[in-house]
Structure 1
Amino acid sequence: MVYLPIALVNLWGASTLHSSPELAARLQTVLDHTMELVSAVHIACAQTMTARRAQSYCSYILSIYTTTFSYLAPAHSWWCFPFERLIGILQRLPINHKFGEFENTMLCSYIKTTMFCRWLARLDCPPAVQECRDIFDGVYAPKSSQNSSQEFAEDPMNDTIRVPDCAMTSAVPDDLYTLLRRRTAILRATLKFDSVIYSRASTHLGNSQILYYPRGDRTLTPVPASIKYIYGTLTGELVFAAQRHLLLDPHYNTINPFSFYPDFPAKMYLTGLESRLENVKVTWVVSHFA
């Protein structure tokens, strides 16, 4: 859903060259039709629904769906993907091709397991049973592949990244000094938060590309940037020092082919970066980008 429309826009969109005007017109028609479908799916899967989005969806598909989305709200509240996923899990269970009592056995086992877990969570659960629970958790609970205190700094409880106790300070580069106004700081190459790995550009370029809300204001449009440094503040929080990507220069008549499809969330920027560094907290980041 992401790669196909981006590829088609770059191959068939505005300012692309083709062997004949007829072929260019035909490909543009196919592209417009495809992008209408993609935009409709994007609107249907949005986390929020507005009157403008409902009207756009109406223009892409059918007018009857405007009333449907007005009453049902975002598709996340009523779609069936979780149930389809559960069905897939059940279908992969080994049953040795024996049917009949399988469904009843599975249902009873699920109920017994749920009741047993609920009993273990009660305050009046016997200490001996709780001790057995701790043993089983230690044996079967999933473990991280690496020690987070050594490789990453992560604190998912309060969504703040803390500097590890064993971290050492380093000399601050000149461009970072203009932002920090101090000569030493804790510098990191990578950082993991919410199961997402972020890196400085010199370590891994792909993991350094981020979309974030400027100053953490979620009413603003996210902007793309590249992480140049990951450093620790005086309060012990790890923060990004990032450079924004430059906007397309209208003086060079550069056409953004995605501007013709306002309901498809893609936009072109230059590969060049601003010279100015700015602080970006991890919780301001929306996602990586390409």
Structure 2
Amino acid sequence: MANHIYDFLKLFGPVISWWCFPFERLIGALQKVNTNDHIGGPLESTIMKLQLRVANIRHWLRRTDCPEALKQLKILFDKCFVPTESPEEHFKPGSHRSYVKRNGAVFSPYTTHEGNTTIIYHPHPNENPTAGRIEQIDNIITLNGTHTRLLVRAHLPLPKASYNPFRIFPDFPAKTYSTHMKDSLDDVVIHAARFDFSHNRSVFLNLSRA
């Protein structure tokens, strides 16, 4: 675990938010090993033997000349664990991501790393950029591959009655917003029925009862 601290820092941010979890998980896995109440030397020996048995099973399951009896076992094995022979082929990305990299910068949802979640973005192509917070990062699987989608919650503009101390510094690239976030539910009107048809078009029908 210690060898991957650098990777964890890049993935999950400051250690104060995740530090004990990987180690506690590893300790929990070791505690589940059946040691027959042995301590000292027999304890380590029992754990090592268990690891060797698991490695041998994985070795046989990856062989092309695997016995038929073990092939039947492999069907059950793959249902319980990640297949070992070709993880790249069997890997399927989840629907959510803890971070995404673009042009050397790392962006994360606020639940993962608050330092990488505040962004300046265009709500729409023709609108001026505004400040927002990344709520969620999703993997969108299409026929052309997997794409990334950011769900962003915008900061509300600063009320006109509020004093903006940065207004007198036009050369300083800062803009003041309200600390309150935009409540997306206020923008919702009603459910809609959707139908996708030709040329990447979708039709929506307002289902308001009024």
**TM-score scaled by length of structure 1:** 0.30
Query: Of Structure 1 and Structure 2, which has the larger fraction of its residues in strand?
Result: 2
Query: Of Structure 1 and Structure 2, which has the larger fraction of its residues in helix?
Result: 1
**TM-score scaled by length of structure 2:** 0.41
